[in-house]
A and B are shown apart, each in its own frame.
Chain A
Amino acid sequence: MKALAARRRHPAAIALLILVGLLVTGGAYSFAAPKDANASAAAADTVAQGKTLFLANCASCHGTGAQGTNEGPSLYGVGAAAVDFQMSTGRMPMTSPNVQAPAQQDIKFTSDQIAAIAAFVASLAPGPAVPDQQYTTVIEPGTQENNEAIARGGEIFRVNCAMCHNFAGAGGALTRGKYAPPLQGIDPVHIYEAMVTGPQSMPVFSDTNIKPASKQQLISYLHAIENRPEQGGMTLGNLGPVSEGLFAWTFGIGILIGCAIWLGKKAA
């Protein structure tokens, strides 16, 4: 994609792009047409609607053709998955320049609108699609097979993700104010999409890297630890020894010194 981006201002680029576009759409059309002409017409509609939405909300940063500007990167090849992830978690459209686009609670777009923009962006260049249900359904513990699948997911998580997201998915700091967010309460689809698209400082975990079935195990592990009772009691945010030390220095010794003062005041 980099090479493409670098040459996009080349006079031949437009011609090339049109050629590629024709070939791709033509190819896609010939592929889809025999099956259901209506469906493809509907798809074309969605793409058009997506384009309108894109021009209104995203083009200021990503450029009218999603080719990228100084304000935002090119979206060629990021795929529908990236758009779905970025928009459904409220990261895009980005509201203000920041070290990192934060996830937001209120999403201003309906899922149809998001799907439309995703379709538009996906139509520009091939990229990861929104994953289908097969790999985003959570494996529930119960049978030995399921338990071991979940445990396997835990191993994959610790090897690939814990260094940034912490062992319990509580989040962690990266350089210069960037951070890996906590992973509690994230939709399985978004976890999957985050892996295949690698938002911001996060690396991409492609399907050759972590197989779809393994991704499903990983998602199930995150789900399992989130829904376990806390055996040990309050977790102090699962932040490791720092929060434990802080607790010992404040509540621990604080209560004990309080008792000592009380006892010291007591006449014998």
Chain B
Amino acid sequence: MSTINEERPADALRAHDAAARRDHEETRPLGGIAGWVDDRTGGTKGVSTLMKKVFPDHWSFMLGEIAMYSMIICLLTGVFLTFWFIPSMTQSPYDGSYVPLQGVMVSDAYRSTLDISFDIRGGLLIRQIHHWAALIFVVAVFCHMARVFFTGAFRKPREINWVFGTILSLLACIEGFAGYSLPDDLLSGTGIRAMNGFVQSIPVIGSYMAYFIFGGAFPGELIIPRLYSLHILLVPAALVGLFTAHILLVFLQKHTQYPGPGRTNNNVVGYPFMPVYIAKAGGFFFIVFGVIALISAVVSINPIWGYGPYDPSPITAGSQPDWYMGFADGALRLLPGFLEFVAFGFTFSMNIFPGSILLLPIMWTIIGIYPFVEKWVTGDDREHHLLDRPRNAPARTGIGVAGIVLYSVLFFAAGNDLMAIKLHLSINDITNTLRVLFFIGPPIAYWITKRICLSMQQYDRDKVLHGRETGTIWRHANGEFEEIHAPLTPRERWHLVQQEVQEPFVVTETTDAHGVANPVARKDQWRAKLSHFYFKDRVDPVTPAELEAAHHAHGPALATEPTETEAAETEASEPAIERH
């Protein structure tokens, strides 16, 4: 009970304020804890918009969620590991419960990881969850990226988020590499050794850099503590921060959706965040956790006790990095040794440097700038909230597949030794084949993919014009056979005719009024060339006139396109529509 006398004489002077005050009190929507919080933060407004946010439903939109959840799982299990892990390279004899290592000199990092595995209850399971979640995290990130790329979800206004995603994927790989290096077993030590070599391969400054990073000669005592700081502090902080920005942008810009009846560039058809989507998403978190925990419970990962402690003299067959760094390892395996040369008293290790050091920034830069390149070529400054079906962007899809092939060649090269054993082939032949594939694989993949896309579009056209094949064969009186085609419903047809078609850009003026070559025109010519490359081959969707003509031939009546609400009604139970 307040003891303040609220009746102040001065109130009489402000009598006209009373109504406003009453209004405010009456509209306060919440009681209880929510009300208490709202009174102090005013958060209800934001939260309620958030709750009403609409999300479209499609399995491919959940790839990002898989990535998010496995990252969260890494964070949680990682905290558990920090309780016991000792990031130190101080040596002492092992006396834990793993017999085949007893009495061997090991570092604290290695010993503590062995202890986590053998002497701490649940430790091995958590370690395996941590590592499996890490692998699956990066797999999911790459799949998510591929989904965004092939559907054109990176177009305006989402270019920034594409760049964020690119950096996130790079950070994820770095985070994984740092973690992989921590336990100080033979494999991770070999990885650090390789990194030391990579840094040294940087022309001129390499050896200084290596000394700087390792705090002296390899291996020293500093690298694991340093990687530990990166692994548990710097990179996770950057990951979480950037991830938050990433997801915030998704909320602000709203999610894209696949084209469909009633779905336009100006709305989102789906389910509200609260209560439907959050239930689905929350449930999915537990599914992801469950699956990863199950895998970790039955499948071993990184059995560090088998590798033994790191020691610079041994090495094991099958020394590879975790998969997300495999492509760089593969590049090293493909680079021929004769590329190394000496000039001006320096050794230029061009058999190592391009694959180990240059490749990463080059690859991620290309990924990062792609949206801007495409935008420059198309000259398209509109916002896009409807996704492309990959077949309707044949050149982009082709480029994507070519990129994947290029990456895969490098990726498989990292496993050339295992392919040699398992397939009974010569490792030299495999390496040479992959070297050739590195150059010819991507163009071939581009060409084939583009052809497939175009023929799928052609098929769509035929389907719209002539209907769906029913498998029913009619025999006419004159003995002629004919397959009956059923006309498409307007709903079905909508998917097949909704796309836009772009024509190649043509340069009209190459010189200015005075006949002087125009520098802008030179740029335009480049643009025209690229635009030609993108849009020269195309299949136009069926126009209403064509459809009309076809129907005259076939008979059935034309149905009209469903309206937004009609379409929404046919969606599952109670969808929501949000407008931009």
- Chain A residues close to B by CB (< 8 Å): 99, 141, 144, 147-148, 150-152, 154-155, 158-159, 162-168, 170-177, 179-180, 221, 224-225, 228, 230-236, 238-249, 251-253, 255-257, 259-261, 263-268
* B43 within 8 A of partner (CB): no
The answer, among B323, B418, B428, for a CB contact under 8 Å with A239, is B418
- Cα distance, A221 to B385, chains bound together (Å): 62
A180→B323 CA distance, assembly (Å): 24
Number of interchain pairs (Cβ within 8 Å): 229
User: Considering the complex, which residues of chain B in the window 92-143 have a beta carbon less than 8 Å from any beta carbon of chain A?
Assistant: 94, 99-104, 117-118, 124, 128, 132, 135-136, 139-140, 143
The 8 A-B residue pairs with the shortest CB-CB distance, nearest first, are A172-B317, A245-B323, A232-B300, A177-B426, A148-B103, A264-B59, A240-B318, A167-B316
The stretch among B77-85, B283-291, B395-403 that forms the contact with chain A is B283-291
B187 contacts partner chain A, Cβ-Cβ < 8 Å: yes
| Whole-angstrom distance between the Cβ of A224 and the nearest chain B Cβ | 5
B301 at interface, CB cutoff 8 A: yes
Q: Roughly how many angstroms separate A255 CA and B323 CA in the complex, as a whole number?
A: 19
Is A173's CB under 8 angstroms from B420's CB? yes
What residues of A have a CB within 8 angstroms of the CB of B306 in the complex? 167-168, 225, 238
Q: Tell me which of B2-10, B307-315, B336-344 binds A.
A: B307-315
Say if the beta carbon of B415 comes within 8 Å of chain A: yes
Q: Identify A241's interface contact among B57, B62, B100, B321, CB under 8 A.
A: B321
A215 to B300, CA, bound (A): 29
Contact indicator B59/A257 (Cβ below 8 Å): yes
Cβ–Cβ contact A162 & B316, under 8 A: yes
Set of chain B residues within 8 Å of A239, measured between Cβ atoms: 318, 418
Also in contact, A244 and B426, with CB within 8 A (given A259-B291, A264-B59, A264-B62): no
Chain A residues within 8 Å of B215, by CB: none
Q: Can you list 10 A-B pairs with a CB-CB distance of less than 8 A?
A: A150-B102, A155-B104, A159-B311, A166-B318, A168-B306, A172-B318, A231-B117, A235-B300, A243-B418, A245-B322
A201 → chain B closest CB, angstroms = 13
- B297 at interface, CB cutoff 8 A: yes
CB atoms of B124 and A147 under 8 A apart: no
Q: Which residues in chain B, 56-73, are within 8 Å of chain A measured between CB atoms?
A: 57-60, 62-63, 65-66
Q: In the bound complex, do residue B302 and residue A233 qualify as a contact, i.e. CB atoms below 8 Å apart?
A: no
Which residue of B has the minimal Cβ distance to A174?
Answer: B427
Residues of B at the A interface (CB closer than 8 Å) are: 57-60, 62-63, 65-66, 94, 99-104, 117-118, 124, 128, 132, 135-136, 139-140, 143, 186-187, 271, 276-277, 280, 283-284, 287-288, 291-292, 295-303, 305-308, 311, 313-323, 326, 414-418, 420-421, 424-429, 572-574
Contacting pair A253 B136 (CB below 8 A): yes
Q: Give the nearest-CB partner of B420 in chain A.
A: A173
Interface pair A179/B135, CB less than 8 Å apart = no
- Complex Cα gap A117–B132 (Å): 53
B313's nearest neighbour on chain A, judged by CB, is A159
Q: Which of A180, A248, A260 contacts B135 (CB 8 A)?
A: A248
Given the contacts A248-B136, A263-B280, A267-B573, A151 and B102 also touching, CB distance less than 8 Å: yes
Task: Known A-B contacts: A154-B308, A247-B295. Give 16 more (CB < 8 A).
Answer: A151-B102, A154-B100, A167-B306, A167-B307, A168-B306, A173-B421, A173-B427, A177-B427, A235-B300, A235-B303, A238-B306, A244-B301, A245-B326, A248-B136, A252-B295, A259-B284
One of B62, B102, B301, B574 near A148 (C-beta < 8 A): B102
| Interfacial chain A residues near B429, Cβ < 8 Å | 177
**Are B320 and A233 in contact (CB-based, < 8 A)?**
no
Which chain B residues border A261 with CB–CB below 8 Å?
59
Enumerate chain B residues within 8 angstroms of A171, measured Cβ to Cβ: 317, 421
Q: A241-B322, A252-B295 are in contact. Are A173 and B186 (CB under 8 A)?
A: no
B99 touches A141 (CB 8 A): yes
Q: Which residue of A lies closest to B416 (CB)?
A: A173
Quick one: given A163-B314, A167-B306, A248-B139, are A234 and B59 in contact (CB under 8 Å)? no
| CB nearest to A171 among chain B residues | B421
Given the contacts A150-B100, A162-B315, A177-B425, A240 and B117 also touching, CB distance less than 8 Å: no
**Would A247 and B322 be within 8 Å (CB), given that A171-B317, A177-B425, A238-B306 are in contact?**
no
A173 proximity list for chain B (CB < 8 A): 317, 416-418, 420-421, 427
Complex Cα spacing A183 to B426, Å: 21
Contact A244 B135, beta carbon cutoff 8 Å: yes
Chain A minimum-CB-distance residue to B191: A241
Chain A: minimal CB distance from B84 (Å): 17
Known: A154-B101, A172-B318, A233-B298. A179 touches B291 (CB 8 A): no
Q: Are B319 and A240 in contact (CB under 8 A)?
A: yes
Q: Are the CB atoms of A154 and B104 closer together than 8 Å?
A: yes
**Contact status of A260 and B99, CB under 8 A, knowing A232-B300, A244-B135:** no
Cβ of B316 and Cβ of A151 under 8 Å apart?
no
When C-beta atoms are compared, the residue in chain B nearest to A238 turns out to be B306
Q: How far is the CA of A144 from the CA of B103 in the complex (A)?
A: 9
- How far apart sit A7 and B471, CA to CA, in the bound complex (Å)? 82
Q: Is the CB of A158 within 8 A of B316?
A: yes
Q: List chain B residues, Cβ under 8 A from A228.
A: 99-100
From the candidates B57, B297, B299, B320, name the one contacting A247 in the complex (CB within 8 A). B299
Docked complex Cα distance between A155 and B63 (Å): 44
> Which chain A residue lies CB-closest to B417?
A173
A32 vs B100: C-alpha distance when bound (angstroms): 44
Chain B residues within 8 Å of A225, by CB: 100, 306
Contact at B100–A176, with CB atoms within 8 Å? no
Contacts of B314 in A (CB 8 A): 158-159, 162-163
CB pair A253–B143 under 8 Å, yes or no, is: yes
Residues on B with beta carbons closer than 8 Å to the beta carbon of A163: 314-317
Q: Which of B100, B315, B429 has the most CB of A within 10 A?
A: B100
* Cross-chain contact A268 with B573 (CB below 8 angstroms): yes
CA–CA, A150 and B288, complex, Å = 41
CB distance from B207 to the nearest CB of A (A): 26
Name the contact of B100 in the complex, choosing from A224, A236, A246 (C-beta under 8 A).
A224
Closest CB in chain A relative to B161 CB, distance in Å: 21
Known: A151-B104, A154-B100. Contact between A244 and B118, CB under 8 A? no
Chain A residues with Cβ below 8 Å from B421 are: 171-173, 179
Contact present for A244 and B128 (CB under 8 Å): no
Give every chain B residue within 8 A of A233 (Cβ-Cβ).
128, 296-300
Chain A residues contacting B315 (CB-CB under 8 Å) are 162-163
Min CB gap A212→B, angstroms: 20
Residues on A with beta carbons closer than 8 Å to the beta carbon of B58: 264
Inter-subunit contact B326/A248 (CB<8 Å): no
State in angstroms the CA–CA spacing of A175 and B284 once bound together: 47
Residues of A within 8 A of B128 (CB): 232-233
> Contacts A148-B103, A225-B306, A259-B291 known; A268 to B276 CB distance under 8 Å?
yes
* CB-based nearest A residue for B105: A155
Q: What residues of A have a CB within 8 angstroms of the CB of B416 in the complex? A: 173
Distance in angstroms between the alpha carbons of A232 and B117 in the assembled complex: 9
B317 to chain A: closest residue by CB:
A172
B301 touching A242 by the CB < 8 A rule?
no
CA–CA, A165 to B421, complex, Å? 12
List, in ascending order, chain A residues with CB within 8 A of B280's CB.
Answer: 263, 266, 268
Quick check: A158 and B295 within 8 Å, CB to CB? no
B136 close to A252 (CB less than 8 A): yes
Residue of A nearest to B319 (CB): A240
Instruction: Collect the chain A residues with CB atoms within 8 Å of residue B305's CB.
Output: 231
Among B99, B101, B311, B319, chain A packs the most CB atoms within 10 A around the CB of B99
Q: Which residue of A lies closest to B415 (CB)?
A: A242
Q: Is the CB of B100 within 8 A of A167?
A: no
Contact B300 A179 (CB under 8 A): no
Q: Report the separation of the CA atoms of residues A245 and B318 in the bound assembly, to the nearest whole angstrom.
A: 13
